[in-house]
Amino acid sequence: MSAQPSHQLLEHWVASLLAHLPFARMERSHVQQLALAAYERYFAPEAVIVSPAAPIEHLIFLRQGRALGRRASAVQPHDVFELEAGSLFPVAALLAGRRVSSTYSALDDCFCLFIPWAAASAVMSASAPWADFLNQRMLAFLEDSRRRWRQELQAQVQQQRNLESAIAELPERQPISRPAAAPLSEVLGLMHAQKVGSVLLTDEQGALSGILTRNDVLGRVTLAELPLHTPASQIMSQPVLTIEAGCTVFDAALMMSRHGLRHLPVTDRGRLISVISERDLFALQNQSIKHVSGAIGQAQGLEQLQHAAARIRAFAAHLMAQGVQSRPLTRLISQLNDSLAERVIALALQRHGLSAQQMCWVALGSEGRGEQTISTDQDNALIFESSDPARDQPAWLAFAADVNHTLDACGYPLCTGGVMASNPLCCLTLAQWGARFAQWIEQGSPEDLLKASVIFDFRALAGRADWLAGLGQQVRQQAQQTPRFLAQWARNHLARSAPLNWHGGLDTHRDAEGHEVIDIKLAGTALLVDAARILAFAQGVDAVSTVERLERASARLGIPESEYRGWVTAFDYLQLLRLRHQLEPGLDPRKANSLRVDALNLVDRQILKASFAAIRGLQQRLELDYVR
């Protein structure tokens, strides 16, 4: 231990600290105070930095190099973890006043700053960021990462209200209402005086009974020549869709989009208290769900469909800027993509002279699960009705090819694996689909299952949705009753593992430009999707979304919530990373899932490693339950 460092060395240490959180958020004088109290030590590769054998009195900052932490048990792979330059340890042990539970040793040539815990504690009273870090270090890191990223996006878009806030937090808008027994003359006079397009109608107890709109007036009063003394209750529309004040603004947005509403009454335990309008939800000009949905519904030709698709992606960027989390955002993207696909299908049916009652367009893969991100290709299939499939299939294939190529032109690329309705293998009658699933489950080879896994995530998008109910039940029952199928499926899944090396570091590869990258879909979300699918089929769970599959299958298996919540959190975080990456300006579509790990900050790298560790734990469970 040396005396006080020279001015030049001190400034070098301060610069090293300020390059990382939480020091980057602290005042320079407070960082200098820590540096003045510190001393530096060098550790050669494999040298022990700190271990449970001795008490710990210093906070250690890894200024240069990489270190390895090994828990005392070190039985499982996740008991070994890697620390990178900028890491601070062992915070938990110091806060708890105990010895460390892991042995930390150098992987490379390591230079560590040892900050006396007494000095670190003294700075807490003067520096709020430092105190926050020591008390809630990972929470502070994660929130700071999200905040800075949201600020970057907000520089590109206008400010709008956070969609995850409660409706009750919005300013109350006094609902315009009249008793349902009031005459039409009174209700119409109120509409004219208030310059509104609708009036809510209530019963004698004040409960909402119905609504009268301008369209009702034209169709049911003017054209019907109804006397103005007629009670409004005779022509009002009912029942009225409402939403509870405790729901989120996002819930209201989804309901308004789904039902084409401009205004939505808000109730508190059934009592009408307010009305939320589309203008309340979205202040951005031409960027509301209603505008996007309207653009889709009014599209007649390819150019209009392409414009609508572009608005979906732009709207997703606006919501990301407001901090909407990955799960509701992917659900909304999927819903809007569904609407676009439905419009494309409807127009194609007209062009080909076919009926929606004779077919079912089936969404597969991420669209089937409602988990689409910004950059997504097509996965779909077709079920058609026919007494002579060989005769009728060509007409349906031509229709399907029209839909597939239109969606491709709108920015949803053709599936490179050919899992599309225009492929004869994906355009079959209901009986043919039933036989094909049975063959996969009972006799399918590993290659068959690998190609077909995406097809097991099916959901009706247009046409005869009722056809899929029986097919889904058949598939789940057969899978649950065929252990060989589940074991083979699990072996296929385990052929790919989470991208962590033997000591818990990120296992990356170099791209053509020399950057460290990981395929965040193939090596991340796809592993969780596949594992959740296996668990769901093994337990007879009829859910399609990954999170619901994990939750419901885990409940049936008695898996502790602390364990499966880790899987869900990992999935949400990896989806968030994918969305963030795909919204980068000028991104090459071919690199939509190729995440540059060397561009991530320390916090994201740590959470990424924790997410992959959670996946590795899930894979170990699958191996024990279905393979061994």
pLDDT tens profile 386-433: 999 999 999 999 999 999 999 999 989 998 888 999 999 999 999 999
Answer yes or no: do 272 and 351 share one domain.
Answer: no
My answer on whether 95 and 179 are in the same domain is: no
Q: How many residues does the chain have?
A: 628
The burial of 482, by beta-carbon neighbours within 10 Å (0-12 exposed, 13-18 middle, 19 or more buried), is given as middle
124 and 173 together in one domain? no
Do residue 237 and residue 346 come from a single domain? Answer: no
- Tell the burial category of 368 from Cβ atoms under 10 Å away from its Cβ (0-12, 13-18, 19+): buried
pLDDT at 134: 76
Among 135, 157, 191, the domain-final residue is 135
> What is the distance between the alpha carbons of residues 335 and 300, in angstroms, rounded to a whole number?
20
Q: What confidence score (pLDDT) does residue 591 get?
A: 87
Query: Do the domain assignments include residue 307?
Result: no
Long-range contacts of 115-118 (CB under 8 A, 24+ apart): 115/34, 115/37, 115/38, 115/58, 115/59, 115/60, 115/61, 116/37, 116/38, 116/57, 116/58, 116/59, 117/56, 117/57, 117/58, 117/59
Same domain, 276 and 390: no
Asked whether residue 450 is domain-assigned, the answer is no
Whether residues 179 and 126 fall in one domain: no
**Domain-embedded: residue 287:** no
Helix-helix angle 561-582:302-321, to 10 degrees? 120
67-71, strands of its sheet edge to edge: 48-50, 102-106, 67-71, 80-83
Tell me, yes or no, whether 107 and 174 share the same domain. Answer: no
275 plus 346 within the same structural domain: no
> Six-digit token pair at 85?
């330059």
Residue 503 pLDDT: 72
State whether 118 and 190 are in the same domain: no
pLDDT less than 70: residues of the chain: 1-3, 72-79, 96, 135-165, 171-172, 278-290, 318, 320-324, 451, 628
Instruction: Give me 449's structure tokens.
Output: 């299952």
Residue 310 placed within a domain: no
Domain span at residue 597? 491-627
Q: What is the pLDDT of residue 101?
A: 83
Question: What pLDDT, on a 0 to 100 scale, did the predictor assign at position 161?
Answer: 43
My answer on whether 242 and 370 are in the same domain is no
CB atoms within 10 A of CB 587: 14
CATH number where 173 lies:
3.10.580.10
Mean pLDDT of the residues in the chain: 84
Which residue in the block uniquely carries the two structure tokens 């105070």? 33
How many structural domains are present in the chain? 4
Say what the pLDDT of residue 373 is. Answer: 79
pLDDT in tens, 255-294: 887 777 777 899 888 788 888 876 666 543 334 566 788 7
pLDDT, position 159: 36
Q: Are residues 511 and 621 in the same domain?
A: yes
pLDDT of residue 176: 87
What is the pLDDT, as a whole number, of residue 67?
93
Return all residues near 1 (Cβ < 8 A) that are at least 6 apart.
Answer: 39
Q: Which of 423, 446, 464 is the C-terminal boundary of a domain?
A: 464
DSSP line for 507-521: --EE-TTS-EEEETI
Give a yes or no: residue 502 inside a domain: yes
In the prediction, which pLDDT does 140 show?
45
> Tell me, what amino acid is at 621?
R
CATH of the domain at 348: 3.30.460.10
Tell me the CATH number at 71: 2.60.120.10
Flag whether 595 is in a domain: yes
* Residues 272 and 345 placed together within one structural domain of the fold: no
Residue 367 lies in a domain: yes
The amino acid at residue 16 is: S
Predicted structure pTM score: 0.60
Point out the domain boundary residue: 281, 315, 344. Answer: 281
Cα–Cα–Cα angle for 309, 332, 279, nearest 5°? 85
Q: Which two tokens stand for residue 219?
A: 């169709």
| Residue 160, pLDDT score | 39
254 found inside a domain: yes
